[in-house]
Chains A and B, each alone.
Chain A
């Protein structure tokens, strides 16, 4: 790990003022310190935001929506009874991620800003356009089971690793930002960037921007009775998704009212499947309908390497998640959250 200046910020304004070129904000550090230990990232200054008052609240807003402060721990949010009841797929996604120790430390803002787990990004002996723009991409032609099948480019085939972000994208969450240019908001769905020819630009944040909260709209609560997060990984627990899906349905009689679908593990951002949602809206649910929705969700998918199996896997996960969501949100988060092997 390189040496760095350490500054503890007492307020958002102080943090933004202390940020300079080469600086990074430090919340818990579960991802940042890991990257620094591997020399993947070498910030010259850490601006510690972990003591900033007021950033760790879960608030119900006047419109019925929920505002999650940047420093709310993943475990705190998932175990908040009112939150879990209103947004069960978000709680299940959170509890399917990382380990209990990491969830106790990891924050809301840190989760959405975590970097890809592409092993070529982590391995400083490999070429990576994210780490070093223009260096090339050793993932291409490499081991690609964790890599993208949607939205990738010849410059980068990495995926975004967050579980939390998948239902956040599906349920129209908004990211609140304060920065040198003042306060602004970006929908979570457009917060992360696809790689294109600039994979080193991972989000729409400008230098010095600080994520202060993530907001879920009141409309997302309408899906609470029929919401699931489903995640396929290489072991039952404590692994990143190969493919995951967050699904929410509403019903009007025997017809689907509205549908929300987002996929994880398939692209460099959580992948909202709007065409699939449109196909489901107002339709009578059936296995055939769900299969067509899955095809629509994976429209345009193509293997970025030896990972064509992920496309079919993702289709099946969409069908399975829709089927589970139709059956209804379980009364209690399963013993193995989001697992296809769970109850």
Chain B
């Protein structure tokens, strides 16, 4: 147990690099820890209430809203942000697909959209069905309305990554296609 007097020391592995920090206050969200303490401002603060998806990151490999997670509660976690996707100058396939398919206009929601798409493809629930992609991406709002391009980009990235088709979890019987 820690008290406000001593602060809360935590370590996060962010984009493969261990980062230690001392939170002076338990109220710090993962989003604020990334943006304000670790200077990783790619994850955006849109609504800060879990409604827009602009802060989407991968936490231990799974997409979540960083604005609705307390950093202190996730001591030891492994995090991937938009800054951790590209390999040097080589874009991640989802990033490349967003460029190819004009999947943004102002760009504010884009890091969250891309992280959410990476998470969706990993979850293996979208396959090549645009309806499942739209449903799977519904936690990411785009006020510019680039949804058509976003859907195309996710489908193209899924194909380019040769991602496995739908996991068994989506199936309710053995004979499902």
Q: Which residues of A contact B (CB under 8 A)?
A: 1, 3-8, 26, 28-30, 33-34, 37-38, 46, 48, 50, 75, 78-81, 84-85, 88, 91, 98-102, 104-105, 236-238, 329-333, 335-337
CB–CB B119/A100 < 8 A: yes
CB–CB B64/A105 < 8 A: yes
CB–CB A79/B27 < 8 A: no
A residues near B48, Cβ cutoff 8 Å: 37
CB–CB A332/B2 < 8 A: no
CB–CB A331/B172 < 8 A: yes
A residues near B140, Cβ cutoff 8 Å: 99
B67-107 contact mask (Cβ, 8 Å, vs A): 1 or 0: 01110110000000000000000000000000000000000
Question: Smallest Cβ distance from A223 to chain B, in angstroms?
Answer: 13
A285 to B174, CA, bound (A): 28
Q: Which residues of B contact A (CB under 8 A)?
A: 1-4, 8, 25-27, 29, 48-50, 53, 56, 59, 62-65, 68-70, 72-73, 116, 119-120, 123, 125, 129, 131-132, 134-140, 166-173, 175-177
B residues near A105, Cβ cutoff 8 Å: 59, 64-65, 68-69
CB–CB A101/B116 < 8 A: yes
- Chosen A-B contacts, 8 in total, with CB atoms closer than 8 Å, are A34-B50, A46-B26, A46-B70, A84-B171, A104-B119, A236-B135, A237-B138, A332-B176
Q: Would A102 and B173 be within 8 Å (CB), given that A29-B70, A33-B70, A238-B139 are in contact?
A: no
A329 to B125, CA, bound (A): 19
Question: Smallest Cβ distance from A325 to chain B, in angstroms?
Answer: 13
Question: Smallest Cβ distance from A85 to chain B, in angstroms?
Answer: 6
Partner of B4 from the list A3, A38, A78, A336 (CB cut-off 8 Å) is: A3
A residues near B64, Cβ cutoff 8 Å: 101-102, 104-105
B residues near A330, Cβ cutoff 8 Å: 172
A residues near B65, Cβ cutoff 8 Å: 30, 101-102, 105
CB–CB B73/A100 < 8 A: no
Known A-B contacts: A101-B50, A331-B175, A332-B172. Give 6 more (CB < 8 A): A8-B1, A33-B68, A88-B172, A100-B136, A237-B138, A331-B172
A residues near B131, Cβ cutoff 8 Å: 335-336
CB-CB nearest in chain B for A239: B138
